[in-house]
Amino acid sequence: MSLVVFSLSISFMFANDNIQTIRGQITDKIAGMPLPGATVFIPESNPLKGTVTDPEGYFKLEDVPTGRISLQINFLGYRPVYLENLNVISGKELVINVEMEENVIEGEEIVVRANVDKTKPLNKMSATSARTFSIEESQRYAGARNDVARMAANYAGVGTANDASNDIVIRGNSPDGLLWRLDGVTIPNPNHFGFMGATGGPVSMLNNNVLANSDFMTGAFPADYGNAMSGVFDLKLRNGNWEKYEFLGQVGFNGFEFGAEGPISKMNHSSFLVSYRYLTLALLSKIGLEFGTGTAVPQYQDLVFKVNLPTKKAGKFELVGFGGISAISFTRSEIDSTDLKKDLYSYENLDIYSKNKTGSLILSHNYMINERTYTRVSLAATGIMNSNIVDSVSTETGINVPYSRSHLSNVNLILSAYFYSTGKDTFLCT
């Protein structure tokens, strides 16, 4: 029996089939302040199509032809940013947020003599063994399956434990040494069917349609990644469209997906973003379709959302959350003993019932004190629960006998405060 995987995208809006709008915000990567006057353009366009950011760093590029394009962002004193292979579709505006790094410009030689404290490093925040990845990469890399963890396995020094899970091995270290962070807060394993203490699973709960450009680190971690042993995924959710409402429906191997985004108030660019997903196989199995897995049909669903509330005087407030539940059962007692070949995944004389729940809720506040100083305060609640029930199946009577039970849960409340200044010192408090 062959399984046909198909995808379908729908949009509840009327739009020109050949053009679309690209919008976003340009900010400083370290201070987070907006960069007004930055130029945003499409290099290969003729005539050249581009725009500049407004005083709050926002830009809007209209009438962009659909298809794959490249985007270049320039700003005086900053390194240019090149975004390649952006997928512009007719049914949905493309919203991107770009963080730019300051560029050191070398001029004429100037000799300055001063007393230097050699006990202090020149670079207060290490940036080695780190790279920024785009969501486009998770869609283009072979075997990524729209999963950022599987995509990272293509990088040098990074491998996978096996194809059934997105656990990653960095330079031979254990996958358990990987640290997951979402919008600056440490989160539990964000994967379906992931056990407590593990860092991977077969399917990610974090839908890549709602992720923004993020960082992946394989060593030399800065101080705020103190609990990392082998690697760090520092993920960020993108903001929703702050000018128009958009809806998305999609069917694929990872499930039925429904998404919505739009403005809360157009005056201050506040927006919301929400995405829900339900596994395709679980739904199709209920109508009688078989997939060669017998009774072991995986079931999962997840929800991801973000509310972005910038203000003019009180800073920016963000509410981010994700949650997912997953379950799978290997029930040998329900299989006809004369036709065991139909169930390749069951365990001999055992019924296994496994359930997992994971979620995080993060409320954060960003405040710019001045052009060189800002603060970020986050309050988060995270939790993970695993339940595994194993029964022994009698070979004579077929009756289940309790064999083992395990129920594990962990809930954390996290308060973190970050203070950054480009003056004499940089402080980090958690």
Which segment of 265-269, 333-337, 414-418 scores lowest on mean pLDDT?
333-337
How many Cβ atoms sit within 10 Å of the Cβ of residue 69? 21
Q: Which helix (H) or strand (E) holds 148?
A: helix 148-152
Domain presence at residue 2: no
Domain presence at residue 285: yes
pLDDT reported for residue 133: 74
Domain boundary residue among 74, 103, 132?
103
Q: Which of 357, 356, 341, 352 is nearest to 393 (CA)?
A: 352
Domain presence at residue 412: yes
Q: Is the same domain home to 290 and 423?
A: yes
Which is more confidently placed, 372 or 94? 94
Average pLDDT, the chain: 80
pLDDT reported for residue 196: 75
Domain presence at residue 113: no
Highest mean pLDDT among 14-23, 64-73, 293-302: 64-73
* Banded model confidence at residue 182, pLDDT cuts 50, 70, 90: very high
Q: Mark out the alpha helices in 286-353 (DSSP H runs).
A: none
* Banded model confidence at residue 291, pLDDT cuts 50, 70, 90: low
Residue 183 has pLDDT above 70, yes or no: yes
Domain presence at residue 134: no
Which is more confidently placed, 319 or 68? 319
Q: Is the same domain home to 93 and 183?
A: no
* Banded model confidence at residue 384, pLDDT cuts 50, 70, 90: very high
Q: Is the same domain home to 277 and 379?
A: yes
Q: Is the same domain home to 99 and 190?
A: no
Domain boundary residue among 85, 103, 121?
103
Q: Is the same domain home to 267 and 398?
A: yes
Domain boundary residue among 103, 130, 162?
103
What lies within 8 Å, CB to CB, of 383 at 6+ separation is 188, 357, 358, 359, 360, 409, 410, 411, 412
* Banded model confidence at residue 261, pLDDT cuts 50, 70, 90: very high
Q: Is the same domain home to 62 and 183?
A: no
* Domain that residue 245 falls in: 174-429
Give the C-alpha separation, 353 to 391, whole Å. 9
Q: Is the same domain home to 85 and 178?
A: no
pLDDT one-digit tens code per residue, 335-379: 665 555 555 556 677 888 899 999 999 999 999 888 778 899 999
* CATH number of the CATH domain containing 91: 2.60.40.1120
Residue 81 has pLDDT above 80, yes or no: yes
Residue 305 has pLDDT above 90, yes or no: yes
Q: How many domains does the chain have?
A: 2
Which is more confidently placed, 398 or 123? 398
Beta strands 94-100 and 19-28 are: parallel
Q: Is the same domain home to 217 and 344?
A: yes
Q: Is the same domain home to 316 and 418?
A: yes
pLDDT one-digit tens code per residue, 281-290: 766 767 766 6
Domain presence at residue 223: yes
Residue 380 has pLDDT above 80, yes or no: yes
- pTM, to two decimals: 0.74
Give the C-alpha separation, 229 to 213, whole Å. 23
Q: Is the same domain home to 187 and 324?
A: yes
In single-letter form, the type of residue at position 88 comes to: V
Domain presence at residue 192: yes
Which is more confidently placed, 398 or 12? 398
pLDDT one-digit tens code per residue, 114-158: 454 433 433 345 456 777 777 776 677 766 777 888 888 888 888
Domain presence at residue 346: yes
Span 233-254, mean pLDDT?
A: 87
